[in-house]
């Protein structure tokens, strides 16, 4: 299997585990790291709506919990005819751990629909290197 196949499979499994009693819109994500590890995540809703967690944020947390800090590629899978791309907050979260040219794959139930580089989804972004260039400490 290819990396895209592995990411798609992990995303679909995670999507099936999403907790979405309110929106009924399950989303799965999977992150590949340079080591070859894959970390899945799913969206988790809450009756207090702003307290929910996006699938991408869930996958990033799993990656960090697994001891890794660099996203080599990410896939997001959602249902429906539209592309389910990361929300603005998740684009910024991805930016914290990914390079500008990191591929962000978008899939539907039947497979890959589009691939973007992170800088296409989040142009002129503010990230860790912005602080480093300004001489700020982290």
For residues 102 and 132, give the distance between their C-alpha atoms in angstroms, rounded to a whole number. 20
Question: Exactly one of 56, 68, 96, 120 is catalytic; which is it?
Answer: 56
DSSP states along 40-72: EEE-B--SSGGG-B-HHHHHHHHHHHTT---BS
d(C-alpha 44, C-alpha 55), whole Å: 7
**Is 45 labeled as catalytic in the residue annotation?**
no
Residues known to be catalytic: 56
């Amino acid at each position: 299997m290819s990396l895209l196949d592995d990411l798609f499979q992990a995303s679909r499994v995670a999507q099936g585990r999403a907790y979405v009693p309110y929106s009924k819109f399950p989303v799965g994500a999977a992150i590949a790291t340079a080591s070859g590890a894959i970390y899945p995540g799913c969206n988790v809703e809450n009756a207090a709506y702003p307290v929910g967690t996006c699938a991408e944020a869930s996958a990033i947390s799993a990656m960090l919990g697994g001891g890794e800090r660099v996203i080599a590629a990410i896939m997001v899978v959602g249902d429906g005819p539209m592309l389910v791309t990361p929300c603005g907050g998740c684009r910024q979260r991805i930016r914290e751990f990914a390079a500008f040219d990191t591929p962000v794959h978008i899939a539907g139930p039947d497979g890959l629909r589009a691939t973007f580089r992170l800088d296409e989804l989040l142009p002129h972004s503010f990230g860790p290197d912005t602080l480093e260039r300004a001489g700020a400490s982290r």
